[in-house]
A and B are shown apart, each in its own frame.
Chain A
Amino acid sequence: MRFIFFLFLTTFFLSKNSDAIQFESLETKNGIKFWLIEDKALPLVSISFSFKGGSILDPVGKSGVTSLMTSLLDEGTQNFTASEYRLFKRENGIKISFSTSKERIEGTFQVVKPRLQEGFYLLHESINKAKFPLNEIKKVKSQVEASIKIDNSNISTIASNKFNKFFFKDKLIGRNTKGSLETLVNISRDDIQSIYRSSFIKNRLVIGIAGDIEPNLAKKYVDYVFGDLPSKKFINPISMLEDLNKGMKIIEMKTPQTTVVFGQKGLGRKDKEYFAARVINYVLGGGGFQSRLYKEIREANGLVYSIYSYLLPYEYAGVIVGGFQTRNQNVGKTIEKVKTEWNRIKTEGITKIELQNAKTYYKGSFSRNFTSTLSIASLLMIVQYYDLGEDYFDKRDLIIDNLKLNELNNLAKNLFDSETLFFMIVGEPKI
């Protein structure tokens, strides 16, 4: 194996026998800011990081290239072949994974303390030294192809892909992150390398770290992995999402149960009213066993096994999406019930008690984010990603307390509109 250990890590740190959680905002020599919660409960470190960009930046006709590129980051680097890389990862208890979504590339990295050096070395290779060998590209393409075909055999993924295709009139947003069988063929090694170079940009990066690592050491490693990346101006291309479909579209498929995915315009994560909208949706379809959709459609009528709605926010714009599956003969009835609940939230809003319960839910549930180092790291990452502020953890309760019923119901009235809902229906529905 071609593998050289690097030298700057010779310091040892005494463990500070303390389990108090402290969040520190740090900056490296190369100017990378990140947040850290040092936690010595277990000898491991978890990192969550993301780069703004994502599959929305895939060139026209090459959709899937960003996702393909991230799938190839462990398939051969300057100092490791694909097999060597994975064996090294296995041997040292290192976990590295990348995923591509519309607006960002996200990575998670975990390593046990005795193998910090090996772990960061491997992460450095992926971020800075990926080689994209032709034979590995061929292999991973065939895997992505198989995965697209499996998706195309499954009624839920068919419905959600078709929903994206027809709901977003903006063709770039409607594309499948994985790409399609047609676009995959068009993607060359040059395309992959060029998207690799343009994706990992220093000033688009946010990082959250939790676990048994001391701040100075964390700074050194962050610089080691990300410090040499270039900087480049970035404007998020997902803007207003004004042009969305409404009404319904049916795709016939032979199956005993129909799948329905529906949606309308929502709010961006940076919108001042985002949290308020989230609370309203919690009451409508977000709160698991609590939501009105669940109670009315599953609990009172037994029409579905699962039904939900959620806010899907991008940075500056967003949508509200929902879904259910029901026997073919009940499709029309269930859609009517969804519309009725949608209208009710618009015209009547939510009640005082519903608001109170939602508030205590959001306050109480926050501590569940702190149960594992990975969930802590993700939280630190996401708060930075959306610029929620260093004081977010202090002010979050206050933001919730300050939500006023009349303001919320005003928002509900303006935001929710069953007339603009679009229903994507896949199956043999009776409507």
Chain B
Amino acid sequence: MKFVLLIFLSLYFSASLSNEQAPPHSFNLKNGMQVVVIKNKRAPVIAQMIWYNFGSGIEKTGKSGLAHFMEHLMFKGTRKFPDSYYSNYISKIGGSENAFTSYDYTAYYQVFPKSELKKMMKMEADRMTNLTLTKENVKIEKQVILEERFQRIESDPSSKLDESMRSILFPNHYYGRPIIGWRHEIEGLTYEDVLSFYKENYKPNNALLVLSGDVDLEKAKKLSKKYFGKIRKGKQESKLDKITDPDLNTNIFVKMQHSTVKQPIWKKFYRTTSYNSDVNNSIALDMGFKMVASGTSSLLYENLVEEKKIFSVVGGYFQGLTKGEGNVYLYAIPNEKKTSSEIDNIIMNEFKEIINKKLTPKRFEIEKKKYYFDTIYKKDGVLNPAQIYGEALTVGLTLDDIKKWQEKVNNISLNDVKKALEKLYENKNYVLGELLN
């Protein structure tokens, strides 16, 4: 679907491109823009992704939704390529395209036959500075975005619960503000807001270009210099003051009760460490939490679904590819009616038990192997690698971090993992949520 809004990222960076046989090439243009080239010649196809290092986080107070609004408007045409020329062209050559906005970044991508590289780069560079937006464009697209908000959030009690839980978990940081924006603030966004947002932020020094697939390095260098290299850099990179959140200090339960809900669901969100602030600890947490909660062979699932039969489903994941704090997400569906704190107690007791008794060296070895195998799968395709590199670099990791990833993974001990999980166990910065009829 077009214009995907990333609320919960499901990409696991831990399963990264370590052990790369041919590492990607990277170079910088004079205006500060970085270009990364990942070669893969299986099919005569190239994926181009441009990652801007800002997302909804950069919006001024009262202007929530502006970054995502801008993303929609980036498809509205330039002088050279007016109206929907861009999308028409991609379609004509059999390509595909999309874009997404997150808290920390905004990205656009196209997948197309390799013969079209030049034109695709030319058009992507062109819309970085030459958009010709009309008031009419902005007015109509605002209606589309309101429909999008209705579709994704307002018509879905589960999404409304998530939105509310996040706003409480992050009372200060922009992670508490919905990417798509609050409805009343979207309604207030103006043509002038959009225009100044565009002019201020869409600059080469805020961008990272990733080319993946059957691409020639020299050609990529020449073309990126020619099209992106001539764009003047902005005054400074779009940088944000580092905002942090206070400890929550109270027990917070959020309840969403709605007549359309037929299946009660229990949720828990934590604020945690991130790869950006601590790579090794995050890898340890990720590995550990995967053993605990990822999939039907996880320990929580084994103990609480298979053995004790308390839940029909239980699981969760760690999302740490963030500029600010990361988060851990847990969910469960009980077989019989239980209160939110009863469920929390059951899961936390089991969690403690797992840390103390069930995380065996054998289990840990299995997880390490799985990590390694996942890296092989992640390379199968052209868009996936571009996405992994783009996201990692945009939130603040370096190519060197990625290069040494497997080494870092190998150096993690079971003890590191246990420590990371114990820290999560002790973590009081969480919100409990209940979806009910």
Contacts and interface: CB of A to CB of B under 8 A. Distances in A.
B377 to A, nearest CB: 7
A290 B88 contact: yes
A91 interface: yes
B422 interface: no
B349 interface: no
Interface string B63-106: 00000000000010000000010011001111111000000000
B93 A254 contact: no
B380 A373 contact: yes
A362 B261 contact: no
A254 B260 CA distance: 8
A112 B376 contact: yes
Max chain B Cβ within 10 angstroms of own Cβ: one of A92, A115, A289: A289
Contacts of A287: 91
B147 A146 contact: no
A142 to B, nearest CB: 4
Nearest to B366: A91
A257 B148 contact: no
Contacts of B113: 364, 367
A373 B93 CA distance: 23
A83 B302 contact: yes
Contact of A90 (B95, B366, B376): B366
Interface string B139-158: 11111111110110011111
A225 interface: no
Contact of B380 (A90, A257, A295, A372): A372
B374 interface: yes
A302 B369 contact: no
B207 interface: no
Contacts of A145: 312
B45 A44 contact: no
Contacts of B302: 83
Contacts of A302: 139-144, 147
A325 B155 contact: yes
B306 A83 contact: yes
A153 B260 contact: yes
Contact of B94 (A82, A115, A363): A363
B262 A290 contact: no
Contacts of B372: 93
Interface stretch (B36-44, B185-193, B316-324, B397-405): B36-44
Contacts of B44: 367
B257 interface: no
B263 A364 contact: no
Assign chain B's interface to a size class: 35 or more
Contacts of A95: 377
Contacts of B43: 21, 367-368, 370-371
A89 interface: yes
A257 B383 CA distance: 34
A39 B147 contact: no
B56 to A, nearest CB: 18
Contact of B111 (A90, A93, A112, A368): A368
B355 to A, nearest CB: 19
Contacts of A372: 380-382
Interface string B115-157: 0000000000000000000000001111111111011001111
Interface-central residue, A87, A91, A254, A373, by most chain B CB under 10 Å: A91
Contact of A256 (B45, B155, B370): B155
Contacts of B297: 83, 86-87, 89-90
Interface string B21-48: 0000000000000000000111111000
Given A149-B262, A367-B45, A306 B94 contact: no
A154 interface: yes
B213 A357 contact: no
A293 B139 CA distance: 19
Contacts of B373: 92-93, 112, 115
A207 B145 CA distance: 43
A295 B377 CA distance: 37
Contacts of A360: 92-94
Contact of A254 (B259, B335, B370, B382): B259
A371 B366 contact: no
A189 to B, nearest CB: 18
B225 interface: no
A306 B158 CA distance: 20
B260 A365 contact: no
A142 B263 CA distance: 12
Given A149-B263, A306-B2, A368 B154 contact: no
B150 A325 contact: yes
B142 A44 contact: no
A368 B96 contact: yes
B234 interface: no
A303 interface: yes
Contact of A370 (B45, B84, B93, B144): B45
Interface in A33-50: 39, 41-44, 46
B415 interface: no
A280 to B, nearest CB: 16
B341 interface: no
Interface string A195-220: 00000000000000000000000000
Interface in B351-403: 366-367, 369-370, 372-374, 376-377, 379-383
28 contacts: A21-B42, A91-B366, A91-B369, A93-B377, A139-B306, A142-B312, A143-B312, A150-B265, A152-B263, A255-B155, A257-B147, A290-B87, A299-B84, A304-B144, A306-B1, A325-B150, A325-B151, A357-B91, A357-B92, A361-B92, A361-B93, A365-B94, A367-B44, A368-B95, A371-B42, A371-B45, A371-B213, A372-B382
Of all A-B residue pairs in the complex, the 9 with the closest CB atoms, nearest first, are A364-B94, A93-B373, A302-B143, A365-B94, A149-B263, A86-B297, A370-B43, A305-B148, A257-B150
Given A21-B43, A153-B261, 15 more contacts: A42-B379, A89-B297, A93-B374, A139-B306, A153-B262, A255-B260, A287-B91, A295-B84, A302-B140, A361-B94, A364-B94, A365-B95, A367-B45, A367-B94, A371-B382
Interface of B: 1-2, 40-45, 75, 84, 87-88, 91-97, 111-113, 139-148, 150-151, 154-158, 213, 259-263, 265, 295-297, 302, 305-306, 309, 312-313, 333, 335, 366-367, 369-370, 372-374, 376-377, 379-383
